[in-house]
Structure 1
Amino acid sequence: MGRHSLPDEFPAEGTRVRPPVRRRTVAIATMLVLCVATGTALAAQGGLLGFSTSCSDSAVKLRLVASPDIAPAVRDVADRVRKDKITTDGQCMDITVTPRDSYKVADALSTTSADPDYQIWLPDSQLWVQRAEATGKSVPLAPAGNVAASPVTLAMVPSAAKALGWPKKTYSWAELAGATVQSDKIHLGAADPARSASGLLALSSISRSAGKGPQSETQVAAAAKVLSQRISDGDSQVLDTLARGDSGSEKGNPRRNQALVLSEQSAFAHNSAAGSAEHLELFYPKDGSPQLDYPYTLVNESGQTTDQSRAALRFMSLLGEDAGRRTIETYGFRTPDQPVRDSGVKTAGGLAPQPYAKEPPEPLSAQELQETLGMWTITVQSARLTTVVDASGSMATLVPGRGSQTRMDVTKASLLQALAQFTPEDEIGLWDFATRLDGDRDYRKRLDTVRLGDPAKGGGTQRDRLSAAISGLAPVPGGATGLYDTTLAAFKDAQATYVSGKFNAVVVLTDGVNEDEDGISRSGLIAKLKELSDVNRPVPLIMIAVGPDTDKAEVEQVAEATGGAGYQVSDPADIHAVLLKAVMAAASAKAS
């Protein structure tokens, strides 16, 4: 407490009168009472004393939406904050914690700019924040730090783990996938990578581990195809598929899995509740376990009051303090910048020499994750794509920075790379176009849209024929870009040959704008596409504009008339990644 002076100072020396003892005592007592009262009021306001009747009327109220796995731990901390009347800037805090699947929150945020009814979002992975922001339509999101972590592992029942040499034998992600996919006794299950960060991180890690090249990518796609047969809707459902009993088998139910893609924390929670017969053992891949990183994210911070944003940051700091960390660790999570707790790992099913304490690998890039999602969508749904490639004279233009390679050369290489992602069940056809390519027509069908695994005349398969046809594409000297008539013709053909149960689409690649003035106009094309579109037989257009001579607005407007989307890339080498991204986005839109 600071110094307090009386209203009147003592009189000058020589004029000072000593007051009676009783009067002086009363004055001092009055001062003490006033000081104590003032200090008590300040202490009560600051939350330093525990006898305040209630904080509820003046508390800063916040809603926090959290991934269901971490929600109980965060709720425990919030309850302690409320019970102990811990304050922010002298005000109590009232934090309501609501569990909600991260993919559902990301999807909701990505489709609207309306302010949600919560101020804090705690998903299980940064990738959901990236997905929410990808459309540019979401409310502003501001990750403020990470409050927990959990490695993504491969969990197995004891009999399966023993068969693979656990814990002494270590595997890479690609080796683990191969060991489980090739075994008729170890069935591998996972949550849908489109809805689960664990599933997506694991599948992307398998892809990275397998390396580049057509053969590796085909193997990854094949593994994904097998995995797709044993997929669960989300993280909360995947444990329900686990085989019961120490033998890892369950008579009469071949759908049960002996191995699961699972976070360490999920295994911890399962083992803590399960009997010894259903204990899981964890493989930590030697090329590194990607981590769920739980980013504490402020939602539309500029729309929050000063009290709310400061309280949100204050609560995050409490999650990182000793008491908060202990609570989070009690639930089986790791906490940032803290040593790995061997006891927690052991409960989860980890054991040396499995490299459970190894630093996580470099985070997967947004492009790697997007390519994996595109591949996954193709694998799960089976695609039927009519691919239409610009063969106008401008495709002979050299690509800056690529020596003697032309736009057509780089486009063909990118298409062949994308082809490796498709399975034998997928159907792919090929057209090319330029003005008056085939008599008065601007387009030519090079190869019918049929299964890649179908045998071809003269030997080989449709995949072989398609690879040869792509390699044989060449620019037409003097040919202009007959984009609109070609797009309409390809769309009509895809509709006429529509196959139910597959993802049907038309992919158009162009390096320019429509130059056929004798054909249909843009407005006429858009009107006709809207007229022909059928919600029961959807055929979205995926239009990819390549290079500086294209018009992004043009391809967007035309594609959107069919429920598809238009994209623009500066380098033809990016076609591969954009194609997979576009297929994933269009298929997701169709599914919803």
Structure 2
Amino acid sequence: MGRHSLPDEHATEGTRGGPAAAGRRRTVVVATLLVLVVAGGAAVAASSGLLSFGDACRDSAVRLDLVASPDLAPAVRSVAERARADKVTSDGSCIDVRVTAREPYKVAAALGAGREPDFAVWIPDSALWVDRAKEGGESVPVATAGHVAASPVALALVAPAAKSLGWPSRTYTWAELAAAATRSDALRLGAADPARSAAALLALSSVGRSAAHEGADGGTGAATLAKALAQRTADTDAQVVETLARDGSGAGRGDPRRNQAVVLSEQAAYAYNTGRGAKRGLDLFYPKDGAPLLDYPYTIVRENRLSTDRSRAAMRFLTLLGEPESRRTLGRSGFRTPGEAADEAAVKKAGAASPQPYAGSTAETPSAKELQEALGMWTIIVQSARLTTVVDASGSMAAPVPGAGGRSRMDVTKASLLRALAQFTPEDEIGLWDFATRLDGSRDYRELVPTARLGDPVEGGRTQRDRLTAAFGALQPVPDGATGLYDTTLAAYKQATASYRPGRFNALVILTDGANEDPGSISRGELITRLRRLADPAKPVPMIAIAVGPDADGESVREIARATGGAGYQVTDPAEIQAVILKAIMTVGQGSRAN
């Protein structure tokens, strides 16, 4: 007799088959159908989120909206669903976590611009996005509370291509790996856009650092890799995986539009390999000078506006993500647990094999400056730049810089500009003005070197780069010269917009160490009004304005730059100019590329 039958132990054979028994059977059938209908309705309601909990939780559940990187979101969603099923509580109230996948670069841009978030918790794939979100002048506050997963960044290759580089027996530094992968056109190398992918940007920065440690020019090494990647770049990490050769073809064979090698996280390689079943997947090269980590920070967004219940629920869910069952869920998706040894079986599924140093120490995270320089360089390479640089030559530029060995502001500024110049390619166009007051007759400014392509020849067998290098080196403060900032800015911007070059990143760079001191110039309000009239969204020429030193008017340069769609910065040390220029190119250059 089955478990759910309803026997009547006292009935006779006759009564068991009579009308009363038939009535009871109909009652049982109807009751069973009602149970199935109710159960089915509940299942539909639960799957649609209408009935997430039983009666004990339904009215008291604390709703928590969480946005996660697309690679991590499915595993986090599984943990959230288990929390609902298990009625996990925070301070006696069940937690109801709703997970949405969203690209980290988009979230960082929105938070940096001060857009009001529709979520309380954000888990990007890297802390670099948290730093990016904080850079905006009106950014939404975010605070990192912990890390929920990790995944090293490596170079993934289809098997024949990996074999050609000696996998797994041969190991490489990042610099050596980049050189090997870019040595010829036979090995097609791709990556996601470093402006949108933490994995690609970390790899690019690691190549530069690796080359510098080996005594080579780190900028050249990273630029070489960037040039190769720029030809075969996908928008996102998910899309770059789709560019891989589907038949595992080696270099020189198969569809030439597809790549044999891509910059990828270990977790992405794991997902790709496990999704191929018995087919041979990717092999991973882990650089012997260390693989940078995607570190998946758990961040609380605008915590000061969260209710106590939601704030505590957010921390309770972070704790839950660190519990053994949650770690197993993350592990089944190919993620590592922060601070713990790699799971050998999972790593091998991702494409690792000895003696590749997959279990060794990871690389030191690139500094914010290194990341800014790498991304600024990437922006320049992807879209050649056309920049006019306007340098303050007023008498105050002769003031000594504290801690600079007696060098003046102008001396340190020139050195920083020369370092920045070295980052540009022969295809980039750069010119130079200087300004003070009445520097050229009644004008406060003069053009020293017209804006032209750095590789173009000039008189004397030199190039535009040589000419600019000499002009930067010859800059000198004008004794008793004041700061004619406003008239100069307007004149330079007029010329920059009139000479706009399509297909390039056009910008005006202005460096000043003071406030406007020309009593006969236009007012700041008039300058801003006229700049707004000149600015054309169809032909963007953002201004990068840098206030140098303690006497500079940082607020003015920020307001002036914003009128053109650009950005203003203030630095205390002129030596920071190079890094700020590259950072600004990265920031405003991405906006320009979107047009």
Q: State the partner residue of 2:170.
A: 169
| Cα 1:251/1:79, change in 2 over 3 Å | same
Q: State the partner residue of 2:77.
A: 75
Q: State the partner residue of 2:151.
A: 150
Letter in 2 for 1:295: P
Cα separation, 2, equivalents of 1:519 and 1:77? 64
Corresponding residue SS for 2:551: coil
Cα separation, 2, equivalents of 1:214 and 1:168? 25
Q: Does 1:403 align with 2:378?
A: no
Q: State the partner residue of 1:412.
A: 414
Return 5+ residue gaps in structure 2 as ranges.
1-52
Measure how far apart 1:54 and its partner are. Answer: 5.6
Corresponding residue SS for 2:516: coil
Measure how far apart 1:535 and its partner are. Answer: 2.1
Q: Does 1:325 align with 2:330?
A: no
Q: State the partner residue of 2:582.
A: 580
Measure how far apart 1:137 and its partner are. Answer: 2.5
Identity of aligned pairs, percent? 63
* 1:444-491 deviation line (CA, Å, top 9, x unaligned): 211111111222222232212211221121222222222222212211
Q: Tell me if the contact between 1:243 and 1:249 (Cα under 8 Å) persists in the aligned partners.
A: no
TM-score (norm 2): 0.87
Q: Tell me if the contact between 1:414 and 1:573 (Cα under 8 Å) persists in the aligned partners.
A: yes
Corresponding residue SS for 1:182: coil
Q: Tell me if the contact between 1:190 and 1:199 (Cα under 8 Å) persists in the aligned partners.
A: yes
Residue among 561, 564, 567 paired with 1:562: 564
Q: State the partner residue of 2:355.
A: 353
Q: State the partner residue of 1:133.
A: 134
Measure how far apart 1:520 and its partner are. Answer: 2.6
Measure how far apart 1:426 and its partner are. Answer: 0.8
Q: State the partner residue of 1:102.
A: 104
Letter in 2 for 1:108: A
Measure how far apart 1:145 and its partner are. Answer: 0.7
Q: State the partner residue of 1:450.
A: 452
Q: State the partner residue of 1:195.
A: 196
* 1:229-265 deviation line (CA, Å, top 9, x unaligned): 1111011100011112233358674221111110000
Q: State the partner residue of 1:423.
A: 425
Cα separation, 2, equivalents of 1:155 and 1:479? 58
Cα separation, 2, equivalents of 1:158 and 1:352? 15
Q: Tell me if the contact between 2:245 and 2:254 (Cα under 8 Å) persists in the aligned partners.
A: no
Q: Tell me if the contact between 1:218 and 1:422 (Cα under 8 Å) persists in the aligned partners.
A: no
Please, which moves more after superposition, 52-61 or 270-279?
A: 52-61
Measure how far apart 1:379 and its partner are. Answer: 1.5
Q: Tell me if the contact between 1:55 and 1:92 (Cα under 8 Å) persists in the aligned partners.
A: yes
Q: State the partner residue of 2:23.
A: none
Q: Tell me if the contact between 2:207 and 2:218 (Cα under 8 Å) persists in the aligned partners.
A: no
Letter in 1 for 2:358: Y
Measure how far apart 1:84 and its partner are. Answer: 2.2
Letter in 1 for 2:177: L
Cα separation, 2, equivalents of 1:434 and 1:117? 49
Q: State the partner residue of 2:393.
A: 391
Letter in 2 for 1:312: A
Cα separation, 2, equivalents of 1:417 and 1:426? 15
Residue among 197, 220, 223 paired with 1:221: 223
Corresponding residue SS for 1:186: coil
* 1:4-37 deviation line (CA, Å, top 9, x unaligned): xxxxxxxxxxxxxxxxxxxxxxxxxxxxxxxxxx
Residue among 481, 490, 494 paired with 2:492: 490
* 1:186-209 deviation line (CA, Å, top 9, x unaligned): 121111111111111111111222
Cα separation, 2, equivalents of 1:171 and 1:377? 27
Q: Tell me if the contact between 2:249 and 2:260 (Cα under 8 Å) persists in the aligned partners.
A: no
Corresponding residue SS for 2:263: strand
Cα separation, 1, equivalents of 2:271 and 2:182? 26
Corresponding residue SS for 2:448: strand
Corresponding residue SS for 2:539: coil
Q: Tell me if the contact between 2:205 and 2:222 (Cα under 8 Å) persists in the aligned partners.
A: no
Instruction: Give runs of aligned pairs for residues 530-545 of structure 1, distance below 5 A.
Output: 530-545=532-547
Corresponding residue SS for 2:460: coil
Corresponding residue SS for 2:182: helix
* 1:205-232 deviation line (CA, Å, top 9, x unaligned): 1122222899432342233122111111
Please, which moves more after superposition, 571-580 or 297-306?
A: 297-306
Measure how far apart 1:404 and its partner are. Answer: 2.5
Instruction: Give runs of aligned pairs for residues 281-296 of structure 1, distance below 5 A.
Output: 281-296=283-298
Letter in 2 for 1:152: V
Q: State the partner residue of 1:464.
A: 466
Q: Tell me if the contact between 1:222 and 1:423 (Cα under 8 Å) persists in the aligned partners.
A: no
| Cα 1:276/1:413, change in 2 over 3 Å | farther
Q: Does 1:121 align with 2:122?
A: yes
Please, which moves more after superposition, 302-311 or 222-231?
A: 302-311
Please, which moves more after superposition, 247-256 or 231-240?
A: 247-256
Q: Does 1:371 align with 2:334?
A: no
Please, which moves more after superposition, 230-239 or 60-69?
A: 60-69
Q: Tell me if the contact between 2:211 and 2:217 (Cα under 8 Å) persists in the aligned partners.
A: no
| Cα 1:215/1:251, change in 2 over 3 Å | closer
Cα separation, 1, equivalents of 2:304 and 2:559? 33
**Superposition RMSD in Å:** 2.0
Letter in 2 for 1:570: T
| Cα 1:558/1:220, change in 2 over 3 Å | same
Aligned length: 541
Q: Tell me if the contact between 1:221 and 1:423 (Cα under 8 Å) persists in the aligned partners.
A: no
* 1:505-547 deviation line (CA, Å, top 9, x unaligned): 1111111222222233322322222222222222222111111
TM-score (norm 1): 0.87
